[in-house]
Structure 1
């Protein structure tokens, strides 16, 4: 008796804990339910084919960058020998993600060449003007016209009227390309050094105290810290600048004060301050933390799925699951009476346990995953049917109710365990060899099979034995259908 009560309290505790988990840890939804972006990435290699090691290396770097973006439910998988498919649930701005993911993030530290001060100041002034115009585009300046005169080596003189009331996307893209060209020209005025992103161990961002601009902090390895000290020592107190170059573009140029003539800047850390906005600083931080891409990549296809489609899928799936449970419950109660009622309660417990486990692991729920969940409900009902038929056979053969219940569960054990094991093995193979959506189906079905084994053999029996403690529920006719009365 005490053992049965212990099981009952344990099941109630699991139910309470499951509800707690579902309240505090919401289910993670996949791209087809939550909406988001899907990017197809093409690896670019000038000579030869992309090797598997190179593909895996790019995959690893992108995975780090995606994690730093904060998209926990993202999925990255290979497509063929030189493509990757990236899914970002909840990310409705694929252009922002592509800017961060597509850069090779090759970080370099360079020192200024001799006799380049005049040319450098001219290019920095041009870059400043372009930055100002780009920011005006972003904030939607209400001024109707703005004249911009940009003198760039190897480019013709550009003089444009910028109409902020119209969608002048081509001009905006031209300004961005011009800024990139100028940044490349500035980088060419600096000599490369031994210090690069390979010596970097961490990156962060913080807001400057004097203004609203953001800066990115860098932390070097021991070897990198020594290199940085030597480089800054060599230009300290001179008119030469130190340039931080990312993917061939100079993003920041800074002088080194005369106080560092003897030792250079020690401590193994540096700061990039280039009038960054919060978004710019975050993008740079993610790129540097993720490391350099072994090969450049190109975004060849971008798909955006709106959350409206996902919400419709969720509602339809919810209706399907509820309707399925209702029809199954009606059939079980009509055919098995008290036993059917027990199976319905057991299925309710099963549903809470299942969803709570999805939240705890966590499992990213997709439409195929919901299909696996609903199919696992069928497996749970099937196990109850086997047990109840065995109980009926025992009752028809003249056994007492309690003995029939114990014998029914004992005789059905082997069949239920065998069926669940074979299904679980199939799910395991599908998860190992299947694609993304097949894996979602296999994961939910596999977890459901394991929980179904517990609820069928333990929850159902515990609830049934609890009900039979009431004298009014011990009548054998309550456990038999009209087609096979005693």
Structure 2
């Protein structure tokens, strides 16, 4: 959740919470990527390169091969046309994707409408030629143009690690309009204040959960105990899924968790009240449970689906804290639906199956 603010006429303040390596962040912010696409001259041999016999209008660029420690082991030379066929000014997006064939990260790029037309013409006129993707005079890849490529999409692959691919995508997005950056001041602030806020937020969430759990247990008895168990499972699912996605639990995220407590309990309250109504009509516990779940289902789905749509909108158009809240809320809604509809119902039906005369503590 970075914070970017304008200061004065020429200065920009960038705050990066949670960054453990400020030097890497400064290096990344200060980079200006010059992305260019050059045709490779296949008529120049390795011997010509070594002897310096480079045709007029060509130049030699290198692809750097690094080892696991990040040191350059080898430089592979490429003779390319000096005039770039396409530049990064047409670039509109760059993101990291995973190759289905080799399960390796690569950088997917997309051009604007003008760049798409130009890229379409270039690939149509140079089928069979190699097209070098050059970033700051370093060749990242030189694939062969197999066919005409409409749509203005391409990929940069170069045996990247995930971190290298992410850095490259960030630099490319910023490099569509290169501008030098001078670091005027660098401050590193300790996490003590944020830690206090997080602890207070966590404490409020725990207190809220305990109070709700006690009320549900008192009001619905053994059924309330099952609802409290479902609530605990709900939280385990939320935290586990957030850890799987690599999401960060922020203060807005904790607020989303507290909201999910109410929504999760609300679903069980609707079901339990329906079951109570059916019991008052003289139904057996098993029949009352089945009817209660069926009649409460539409209300539960309506409430959760509309809230889930709102969470998606918040994530799509929100920034920073709003996105943190939306992530927790959307994951919590899915977990709440699962525990309320599947977990509690399975336990109830398992306990009361074939026991039509047994009373139910609700």
TM-score range, shorter chain: 0.5 to 0.7
Q: 1:342 aligned to 226, 233, 239, which one?
A: 226
Q: 1:432 aligned to 296, 302, 316, which one?
A: 316
1:101 aligns with 2:36: no
The 1:301/1:407 distance shift into structure 2, 3 A limit, reads farther
Q: How far apart are 1:298 and its partner, in Å?
A: 3.7
Q: How far apart are 1:194 and its partner, in Å?
A: 7.0
Q: How far apart are 1:99 and its partner, in Å?
A: 4.0
Q: How far apart are 1:426 and its partner, in Å?
A: 0.8
| Structure 2 CA distance for aligned equivalents of residues 374 and 40 of structure 1 | 30
Per-residue CA deviations over 1:29-50 (Å, capped at 9, x if unaligned) read x78xxxxxx67689x99xxxxx
Residues 315, 327 of structure 2: 8 Å contact kept: yes
The 1:102/1:421 distance shift into structure 2, 3 A limit, reads same
Q: How far apart are 1:439 and its partner, in Å?
A: 0.7
The 1:393/1:206 distance shift into structure 2, 3 A limit, reads closer
Q: 1:222 aligned to 78, 82, 85, which one?
A: 78
| Structure 2 CA distance for aligned equivalents of residues 402 and 98 of structure 1 | 64
Q: 2:271 aligned to 387, 390, 402, which one?
A: 387
1:378 aligns with 2:269: no
| Structure 2 CA distance for aligned equivalents of residues 443 and 421 of structure 1 | 15
Q: 1:204 aligned to 66, 70, 75, which one?
A: 66
Map of 1:412 onto structure 2 = 296
1:328 aligns with 2:257: no
Q: How far apart are 1:462 and its partner, in Å?
A: 1.1
| Bigger relative CO (Cα 8 Å, ≥ 6 apart) | 1
Q: How far apart are 1:309 and its partner, in Å?
A: 2.9
| Structure 2 CA distance for aligned equivalents of residues 433 and 329 of structure 1 | 34
Q: Residue 283 of structure 2 aligns to a residue in which SS?
A: coil
Q: How far apart are 1:475 and its partner, in Å?
A: 2.0
Per-residue CA deviations over 1:340-362 (Å, capped at 9, x if unaligned) read 11100111111111111111122
Residues 67, 73 of structure 2: 8 Å contact kept: yes
* 1:10-409 correspondence runs (5 A): 85=14, 87=16, 89-91=18-20, 94=22, 97-104=25-32, 199=61, 201-202=63-64, 204=66, 216-217=72-73, 219=75, 222-223=78-79, 290=171, 293=175, 294-299=178-183, 302=186, 304-409=188-293
Q: How far apart are 1:371 and its partner, in Å?
A: 1.0
Per-residue CA deviations over 1:287-327 (Å, capped at 9, x if unaligned) read 9x957941112446755342333433332232222211111
TM-score (norm 2): 0.59
| Structure 1 CA distance for aligned equivalents of residues 283 and 201 of structure 2 | 44
The 1:406/1:100 distance shift into structure 2, 3 A limit, reads closer
The 1:301/1:464 distance shift into structure 2, 3 A limit, reads farther
Q: How far apart are 1:338 and its partner, in Å?
A: 1.7
Q: Residue 223 of structure 1 aligns to a residue in which SS?
A: strand
| Structure 2 CA distance for aligned equivalents of residues 347 and 200 of structure 1 | 58
Per-residue CA deviations over 1:118-148 (Å, capped at 9, x if unaligned) read xxxxxxxxxxxxxxxxxxxxxxxxxxxxxxx
Q: 1:466 aligned to 334, 350, 355, which one?
A: 350
Q: How far apart are 1:442 and its partner, in Å?
A: 0.8
| Structure 2 CA distance for aligned equivalents of residues 473 and 353 of structure 1 | 35
| Structure 2 CA distance for aligned equivalents of residues 363 and 206 of structure 1 | 27
Q: Give the number of aligned pairs.
A: 257
Residues 286, 356 of structure 2: 8 Å contact kept: no
| Structure 1 CA distance for aligned equivalents of residues 258 and 65 of structure 2 | 45
Residues 40, 300 of structure 1: 8 Å contact kept: no
The 1:100/1:402 distance shift into structure 2, 3 A limit, reads closer
Q: How far apart are 1:101 and its partner, in Å?
A: 2.8
Q: How far apart are 1:465 and its partner, in Å?
A: 2.2
| Structure 1 CA distance for aligned equivalents of residues 258 and 221 of structure 2 | 23
Greater Rg, structure 1 or structure 2? Answer: 1
The answer to which of 215-224 and 400-409 deviates more is 215-224
Cα RMSD (Å): 4.1
| Structure 1 CA distance for aligned equivalents of residues 306 and 314 of structure 2 | 13
TM-score (norm 1): 0.45
The 1:319/1:206 distance shift into structure 2, 3 A limit, reads closer
List alignment gaps of at least 5 residues for structure 2.
36-56, 83-137, 139-163
Residues 5, 14 of structure 2: 8 Å contact kept: yes
